[in-house]
Amino acid sequence: MQRLRIVGAALAGFMLLGTATACGSGDEASTDEKVVVDITVKDGEITPKGDRVKVSAGQPIDLVVTADAAGSLHMHSDPEQEFAYDVGTKTFPISIDRPGVIEVESHDPAQIIVQLEVR
């Protein structure tokens, strides 16, 4: 499994830890290969901060959130999705069927965490 590790800071209220299979460097995972996006919320900060990850339509993606406070993530997909998490680590399995750029963000603090570039 190809992985991109992104470790970040905490966010008071919204947290997310993710590791992505492709780091936007042009590497692409096969459609069956799972992409893991690690998002970290610690001390009021979230990482990553807007990184772009390339994925294929229908490819399995795990958003892995590690947080020091409860919060939620918002994904601008169709339909839009929201993922609530508590203190600790939680995995949200997703897949996106249509090409485009899907943003995963926090509203508190307001920040784009990762952009999923779906091909």
Pairing of strands 51-55, 110-118: parallel
pLDDT for the residue numbered 18: 36
Residue type, 84: A
Give the percent of the chain with pLDDT over 90. Answer: 67
Tokens 């920040």 locate to 111
pLDDT for the residue numbered 108: 85
Domains of the chain from N-terminus onward: 4-118 (2.60.40)
User: Tell me: the pLDDT tens digits for 1-28?
Assistant: 333 333 333 332 333 333 333 333 344 5
pTM of the predicted structure, to 2 decimals: 0.74
Over the chain (119 residues), the average pLDDT of each successive run of 10 is: 34 33 44 93 95 97 97 92 97 96 94 97
